[in-house]
Structure 1
Amino acid sequence: MRERAPGLSVRLKLTLSYAGFVVIVGIAVFVVGFLVLRFLPEGNLYSESGIFTPRRRDLTEVFVRYAWFAVGALAVVGLGGGWIVSGLMLRPLHRITDAARAVRDGDLAHRVDLPGRRDELTDLADTFDAMLARVEETLDEQRRFAANASHELRTPHATMRTLLEVARADPAGVDLERLLHRLDLTNERAIRLTEALLALARSTRGGALSPEPTGIDDLVATVLAEAEGGVAGLDLALAGASGGIARLDETLVHQAVTNLVRNALVHNVENGWVRVAVSGELDEVIVDVVNSGEELSRELVATLPEPFVRGTGRTRGRADGTGLGLAIVASIARAHRGRLELWPREGGGLHARLRLPR
């Protein structure tokens, strides 16, 4: 952080501004009075009753003498009153500054919580509190994500190390073909998890998007064609396609739709089904993926877009999942300024809706 040269405080600047404004107004009033005095005659005047009336020069001298006293008094009043008023007006800013210092020192739970009716300062304080809440939430998510990522990445590597240690301890009793098969499966899981982490990292960088005109219907049809090989007893079908063209990052959206379809296939039941539908509105494109499956609660469904959360809970579940599929979809949707909506399907299964701006 660059060092700034010392300067006048805002309170002092406001005080000088108030005092200067009061003095200028006072001088303007006295100038008007001085101009009015010019209309008086030069000589002394006497009324019919013999009462003496001062001439213009006498009135001007008295007026100017007391005008200077009045200007000085206005300056003092302006300085004192300005100092008090500016202190009252800047008190909320001191509260916001104290909150910012507390956050800088690591107290992310500190809030301004400025009382009073709505004005510019309360709007600033409320916006600052909302920003702090967002930062605290983001940091908590990052800590949780880092902890879960380290756990998930450690598991396959620990498994491979254990397999190798067992084989090294008893080389004669090793079933080489089985060992290689298990190592291959474990290594493949580590590769999938690493690729998912990279995809999630890229999808969180909105500035890294490369939007281009994309045919949503063709993209979804390609994803379904790629997924047909792994259906294995499930009924996968396209229920409708009217998405049209949208300016999107085709690679990321392909990844998002692929994850939705794969999630629907993995978390399903025997002889189940998956239906995909694409619809288009004037300002957005909607991709619906609905699948049969076990009964899900709304509380559980609300946590599914979090990293490493699977259908049976955090960092647990089927071995062929990474727990990042829906998290990647939600992140891709946010990067496009869209959103992912999830709700449990009546009768079992999940309804996922991806909304992307056209």
Structure 2
Amino acid sequence: MDRAPGLSVRLKLTLSYAAFLMLAGALLLAAVWVFLLRYVPDRALLVASGTSDNGVFPIRSNLLRVFAPRAAAVMAFLLVFGLAGGWLLAGRMLAPLTRVADAARLASTGSLSHRIRLPGRQDEFRELADAFDTMLARLEAHVAEQRRFAANASHELRTPLAISKALLDVARTDPDRDAREVIDRLHAVNARAIDLTEALLLLSRANQRSFTREDVDLSLIAEEATETLLPLAEKRGIGIETCGDVAPTVGSQALLLQLTMNLVQNAIVHNLPDQGTVWITTSARARTVVLTVENTGEKLAPQLVSTLTEPFQRGTERMHTDHAGVGLGLAIVKTITEAHGGTLTLTPRPAGGIRVTVELPAITAHTISGLDEEARHGRTARLRACRHQDPLPGSGPCPALLP
């Protein structure tokens, strides 16, 4: 919406300085009148000889006639001095804001690398400039991450589309080719494209934090994820051990379930070829609740582990598995964790595999609403035997969770 142009801040400050100076001059003249001129007689007085005072006292009209022009000249000087001095002082005071405005103007054109770096002592303008520099740095990092993510997403989406086109071209040029084989391959490629699209939508939803928060229990979510993925673990010969305490927090039930599903599926898929193990634990601390997912597997370098939460980053030989995913599993986990005000930590295990720890803000157990206690105890009865045991490998008889 267009607005009518108004006075600049510098001009407003200049007029304010000049008006204040004129007011001070007027008050000074008023004080001269009140405390001096009002006591001057309005008629001439003759002083008799022989007294200590000789001569004629001045009369008020003569003093006013002489004083008024000079007072007006002083007021005019104060006005000019106030306007000029105010303009210079306002420009000097507003110079830092001009630098901030220039930086904002550059940022609006897409240049986020510019920094104000205002010199001088710490004052209000310096705090504003430093805060603006911090915002620019975060925006630059966020935009760079989004651009990198968009480029990777475009590449990942282009791959299944290119494969589908190639399969269709082959089927069109070779009518004798087995149609069932082409359909099966197209089905697999399209399923992967759908999975990638759904993962991108989920990642966008978590980034925008557009979800309803409710009281949830991470221990129940961990159990549900484990039961859902148990057939995949049995197919790959992976044992799952689930232990933990009630871990109440606030967040989205669906997103936290997706977070746990991603962690457990990654732990199952990227494990030893046979006789691997996954450990899932939940615990409650003073102010946080913790979900930990560990697995056996190949030894991973710390440098590689630190990059696994980046979108489309995969570990050793992940592209060659039948459940390689779309490279967004841990990126989604990181985004969901941050959207819930938590922290995500990845640590390589000395014996091989990885330990993933999700720490979220806790709430008191009695505030959890909407959870049926009878259903809670019925669903978690299989976990009671191992709930207070150390879930680390070789530490106790905590059995694999069975259906």
Q: TM-score w.r.t. structure 1 length?
A: 0.89
1:265-276 map, 5 Å:
265-270=268-273, 271-276=275-280
SS, match of residue 310 in structure 1: coil
Select 1:108's aligned residue among 106, 112, 115: 112
SS, match of residue 39 in structure 2: coil
In the alignment, is the contact (CA less than 8 A) between 1:268 and 1:294 conserved in 2? Answer: yes
Residues 41/125 of structure 1: CA separation in 2 closer, same or farther (3 Å cut): closer
Residues 117/41 of structure 1: CA separation in 2 closer, same or farther (3 Å cut): closer
| 1:28 equivalent in structure 2 | 27
In the alignment, is the contact (CA less than 8 A) between 2:40 and 2:59 conserved in 1? Answer: yes
Residues 117/346 of structure 1: CA separation in 2 closer, same or farther (3 Å cut): farther
Return the letter of the residue paired with 1:225.
E
In the alignment, is the contact (CA less than 8 A) between 2:217 and 2:246 conserved in 1? Answer: no
Q: Which shows bigger deviation, 180-189 or 27-36? A: 180-189
| 2:341 equivalent in structure 1 | 337
| Aligned equivalents of 1:61, 1:300: Cα separation in 2 | 92
Unaligned runs of 5+ in 1: none
1:293-308 map, 5 Å:
293-308=297-312
| 1:352 equivalent in structure 2 | 356
Shift, 1:56, TM fit: 5.4
| 1:162 equivalent in structure 2 | 166
Shift, 1:15, TM fit: 0.5
Q: Deviations over 1:198-246 (max 9, x none)?
A: 211211111x2111222222111111111111112222211322303x3
| Aligned equivalents of 2:215, 2:231: Cα separation in 1 | 28
Residues 296/55 of structure 1: CA separation in 2 closer, same or farther (3 Å cut): farther
| Aligned equivalents of 2:202, 2:78: Cα separation in 1 | 68
Select 2:84's aligned residue among 72, 80, 85: 80
Residues 220/177 of structure 1: CA separation in 2 closer, same or farther (3 Å cut): same
Aligned pair count?
A: 353
SS, match of residue 171 in structure 1: coil
| 1:6 equivalent in structure 2 | 5
In the alignment, is the contact (CA less than 8 A) between 1:309 and 1:316 conserved in 2? Answer: no
Shift, 1:53, TM fit: 5.2
Select 2:213's aligned residue among 211, 214, 219: 211
| 2:260 equivalent in structure 1 | 257
| Aligned equivalents of 1:316, 1:97: Cα separation in 2 | 49
Return the letter of the residue paired with 2:122.
R
In the alignment, is the contact (CA less than 8 A) between 2:216 and 2:250 conserved in 1? Answer: yes
SS, match of residue 48 in structure 1: coil
Residues 318/109 of structure 1: CA separation in 2 closer, same or farther (3 Å cut): farther
Q: Which shows bigger deviation, 88-97 or 105-114? A: 105-114
- Structure 1 position 194 matched with structure 2 position 178: no
In the alignment, is the contact (CA less than 8 A) between 1:40 and 1:55 conserved in 2? Answer: no
Residues 51/340 of structure 1: CA separation in 2 closer, same or farther (3 Å cut): farther
Q: Which shows bigger deviation, 44-53 or 178-187? A: 44-53
In the alignment, is the contact (CA less than 8 A) between 1:200 and 1:331 conserved in 2? Answer: yes
User: What RMSD, in angstroms, separates the aligned Cα atoms of the two structures?
Assistant: 2.5
Shift, 1:36, TM fit: 0.8
In the alignment, is the contact (CA less than 8 A) between 1:37 and 1:56 conserved in 2? Answer: no
Once the two structures are aligned, what percentage of the paired residues are identical?
44
Q: Which shows bigger deviation, 304-313 or 9-18? A: 304-313
Q: Which shows bigger deviation, 127-136 or 57-66? A: 57-66
Residues 158/49 of structure 1: CA separation in 2 closer, same or farther (3 Å cut): closer
Residues 33/147 of structure 1: CA separation in 2 closer, same or farther (3 Å cut): same
Return the letter of the residue paired with 1:213.
D
In the alignment, is the contact (CA less than 8 A) between 2:206 and 2:339 conserved in 1? Answer: yes
Unaligned runs of 5+ in 2: 363-403
Residues 182/87 of structure 1: CA separation in 2 closer, same or farther (3 Å cut): same
Shift, 1:142, TM fit: 1.9
| 2:281 equivalent in structure 1 | 277
| Aligned equivalents of 1:342, 1:329: Cα separation in 2 | 11
SS, match of residue 346 in structure 2: strand
Return the letter of the residue paired with 2:358.
L
Residues 49/34 of structure 1: CA separation in 2 closer, same or farther (3 Å cut): closer
Q: Deviations over 1:164-211 (max 9, x none)?
A: 333333333x345544433332232222212211211211111x2111
Residues 41/112 of structure 1: CA separation in 2 closer, same or farther (3 Å cut): closer
Q: Deviations over 1:38-86 (max 9, x none)?
A: 6635264866163665455555554444333222222121111111111
Shift, 1:119, TM fit: 1.6
| Aligned equivalents of 1:45, 1:18: Cα separation in 2 | 47
Q: TM-score w.r.t. structure 2 length?
A: 0.79
In the alignment, is the contact (CA less than 8 A) between 1:22 and 1:74 conserved in 2? Answer: yes
| Aligned equivalents of 1:247, 1:45: Cα separation in 2 | 96
| Aligned equivalents of 2:66, 2:319: Cα separation in 1 | 94
SS, match of residue 309 in structure 2: coil
Select 2:227's aligned residue among 221, 225, 228: 225
